[in-house]
Structure 1
Amino acid sequence: MRQTAVNKLHIFMVMFFISLVMSIQSPIFTPYAATMGASSVLIGIMLSIASFTNLTGNLVAGPLSDRFGKKVFIIISLFLSGILFIFHALVSSSMNLIVLRALNGFSLAFLIPSGLALLSEYAKNSHQQGKNMAINGILGTIASIIAPLIGGKLGATIGYANTYLVIGISLILTAIYATSFIKERQHMVVKANQSNKLSFLHILQMPQLQIVFLTGFALMYIHGVIIYEVPYLTVERGLSTTTTGQLFSFMGIGTFLSLSLLFINRFNPIKRLMFGLTGMNMVIFIILKGLMSLPVSLFFVGFFFGIIMPAMATALTDSVASSGYGRAFGVMSAIYSLGMITSSFITGVIRDYISPYFIAFTIGMLTLTLIGYSKFQTNTNSSSHAPTQY
């Protein structure tokens, strides 16, 4: 029991450092690309390419991690990403940056599905799964609060290129730590009436997971708009990257608060998804209309983000057997990437003509409508197949 706790602690530490190091670049990538002459459209293409290669890698990572284990892909991905981030510091043109973003997107695709699947295997039941995801979420949120501040400060003091050098070296050190301390574990959770081998098609056909994937797409589309638009303030308004980092930290504080409300985990995860997406749509509408200051708005974006993310992970682990975690988390990560691809590309193209927040609000509301219709259809079908009482 004690050894299991120690092994989980090492996984939590690795996941925390991944979140911390990766979030450091959030306030600096857009201005870094802009200094190389990249237009808003080209920056959108860069983000989209990274998300597209990430999507491809997610679909490859799932089956491979189920077959060969999670640890090996976590370590390889960390080493490769660290090297690629170091090369970020050495680029001399926006075209070089596009190539590196594409390669790095594919490399990073193995990290999150493998990490979440490995963490889920250290649970004996659904309650422990939820607890593990909650702790991971809290640690990731802490990282998201402090990392933008670190990234913004580093960008302002040592420059964008040197900041990417720090990111790359940090990931390599994390890979060395993971090599030494992360332990693989056999599947612990067994669910009745489920095949040990799930195909991607089978996963996509599960009604509950369809709701999860729809929510994930909408959430990451909205997140992509925030990630694109907030750093762009440094370009349009001449703000410091430190200011941008502070804005992202407001979002992290909101997420931390919602994750700390442990009683929320007692509610059905699908209902939490719908509640969180409704709140997210309302906040995006407020940002669109300028009804609230941006720091406060981002705080509430983070709050509802913290409600949605653990609920999606819990709904997923409740729906599939542990032997299919890699595939399921791979599909979910691919959906995330698809949302980012669509968001980054559309935002870069239309931002000079129409507010990206309006498109995000429209997609969020459309997704909420589809989820409501799906729930209605499921309840109707269940009622029609119920035995008649006499």
Structure 2
Amino acid sequence: MDMESIKRGKSLTSSFLLASAFLMQMLTGIVGITVPIYAAELEASPLLLGFIGATGGLIYSFMPLVSGILSDKFKRKTFILTSTFLYCLSCVAYGIVEDPYMLIPIKALEWVSVALFWPSVEALLTEVSEVNIEETLRRFNLSWGSATIVGPMIGGSLISALGIRTPFIASSATSLILALLSVILIEEQLKGERLVEHSEVSSANGNNRVSIVGAVIEIILFSSIGGIIFNLFPAYAVNLGIPAYTVGLIMLINGLFRLIAFLETYKIEAKFGRHFMFLTGSLIMAFASALTAVGSTASMFAISFALFGFGAGVLYASSIATLLKDWGSKKGYAGGLFESLIGIGYFLGSLTGGFVSEYAPNAPYILGLFISLTVTIFQAVHKK
């Protein structure tokens, strides 16, 4: 195979992976908003709704790491194919069950498929891309980040217009098409070629441990606060008298500012360095947490959630670049670790936030402030 054909194959694979990232995140958003509504129609209790949601978080706290490690040993294409096919099966299962308790194992299957998908996509994308890793990840982040905005909107529209089962039908069809296209469009290097190509990078691992530790802490920070604000804030805001549609707009603002961060982070990082981004992102998360803790109006929350979105976007972009760039040929492991840490942080944030909210409604955001300031101090002391 000549070099021109190899380049065309890499370009096609890269484009397909970016499109897949958008579509998979969009499907996750569609299904994510549909399952609780569907469960409520099946007369699931609030406790059962909590168990259904926690099942996904628990699976995602360890499964991405397992799949990432395995994807370094086997073909990543196989994991992408398997994940999209399993997602299709989970959506079909959602649409046919009548017992709300059956949603728990289906949620587990759904998130196993998601856990198989992201580490392999992240790793393979950095391997086949013809541009530097920061530009590759900028495109990747913009792809899935934009899908987080449109997914729930599409899901809600489908439910309103065509019924509660329609999102499951649409999602199963889309994921099946993705599975079939992945067989045709993904071209992947052999394992040995990957090792040779990235051997020089992997030899530098020993010099980047401080950076990696800092990245791990930042991942826990933005994901734990994400668990707090996405799971607890909507009810908190409604109890303050803010209409549900306004809460939706606040969440939309959060997503938009996260996209802005994805667009600008690597440009700023090129001038000031990654440590500056970690420190700045932590401070932004602290300020946003403080505003949310003392706020009571929609306008105040709009500002704080814009800051949450931008801060989380900065930390996400810088931390994923740190792990994928500094881990050499073990990019599946790095991607899996990244996603598992997000799952752990999200799970712990939801759990601890829910616990402290029993003492005061704004206590979760005070907790977020404390965590953010602690991480900020750590970054200031452990400057690379």
TM-score normalised by length of structure 1:
0.83
Displacement after TM superposition at 1:354 (Å): 3.1
Please point out which of 153, 158, 174 is paired with 1:154. 158
Q: Distance in 1 between matches of 2:59 and 2:267?
A: 38
Displacement after TM superposition at 1:64 (Å): 0.8
Displacement after TM superposition at 1:70 (Å): 0.9
Please name the residue that 1:218 is paired with: 221
Please name the residue that 1:178 is paired with: 182
Quick check: 1:285 aligned with 2:290?
A: yes
Q: Distance in 2 between matches of 1:48 and 1:134?
A: 30
- Structure 2: which amino acid aligns with 1:150? I
Pick closer, same or farther for the CA change 1:243–1:378 going to 2, 3 Å: closer
Task: Report the aligned-residue RMSD.
Answer: 3.2
SS at match of 2:98: coil
Quick check: 1:209 aligned with 2:238?
A: no
Instruction: Report how many aligned residue pairs link the two structures.
Output: 369
Please point out which of 28, 40, 46 is paired with 2:52. 46
Please name the residue that 1:317 is paired with: 324
Matched-pair contact (CA < 8 Å) for 1:28–1:241: no
Matched-pair contact (CA < 8 Å) for 1:45–1:348: no
Pick closer, same or farther for the CA change 1:259–1:62 going to 2, 3 Å: closer
Matched-pair contact (CA < 8 Å) for 1:117–1:326: yes
Displacement after TM superposition at 1:153 (Å): 1.7
Displacement after TM superposition at 1:235 (Å): 8.8
Gaps of 5+ in 1: 380-390
Displacement after TM superposition at 1:142 (Å): 1.8
More displaced 10-residue stretch of structure 1: 243-252 or 260-269: 243-252
Please name the residue that 2:81 is paired with: 75
Please name the residue that 1:128 is paired with: 132
Q: Distance in 2 between matches of 1:348 and 1:44?
A: 11
Matched-pair contact (CA < 8 Å) for 1:88–1:165: no
Pick closer, same or farther for the CA change 1:369–1:295 going to 2, 3 Å: closer
Matched-pair contact (CA < 8 Å) for 2:218–2:375: no
Pick closer, same or farther for the CA change 1:297–1:342 going to 2, 3 Å: same
Q: Distance in 1 between matches of 2:379 and 2:313?
A: 24
Please point out which of 193, 198, 207 is paired with 1:189. 198
Please identify which structure carries the higher helix content: 2
Matched-pair contact (CA < 8 Å) for 1:116–1:329: yes
CA displacement 1:170-195 (0-9 Å, x = unmatched): 22222222222121134233335729
Q: Distance in 1 between matches of 2:147 and 2:283?
A: 26
Displacement after TM superposition at 1:71 (Å): 0.9
Please point out which of 253, 257, 264 is paired with 2:256. 253
Displacement after TM superposition at 1:279 (Å): 0.8
Matched-pair contact (CA < 8 Å) for 2:290–2:366: yes
Q: Distance in 1 between matches of 2:383 and 2:251?
A: 38
Q: Distance in 1 between matches of 2:286 and 2:46?
A: 25
Q: Distance in 2 between matches of 1:253 and 1:327?
A: 30
Gaps of 5+ in 2: 1-6
Pick closer, same or farther for the CA change 1:30–1:145 going to 2, 3 Å: same
SS at match of 2:49: helix
Pick closer, same or farther for the CA change 1:120–1:158 going to 2, 3 Å: same
Please name the residue that 2:68 is paired with: 62
Fraction of identical pairs, as percent: 21
Displacement after TM superposition at 1:69 (Å): 1.8
Pick closer, same or farther for the CA change 1:324–1:193 going to 2, 3 Å: closer
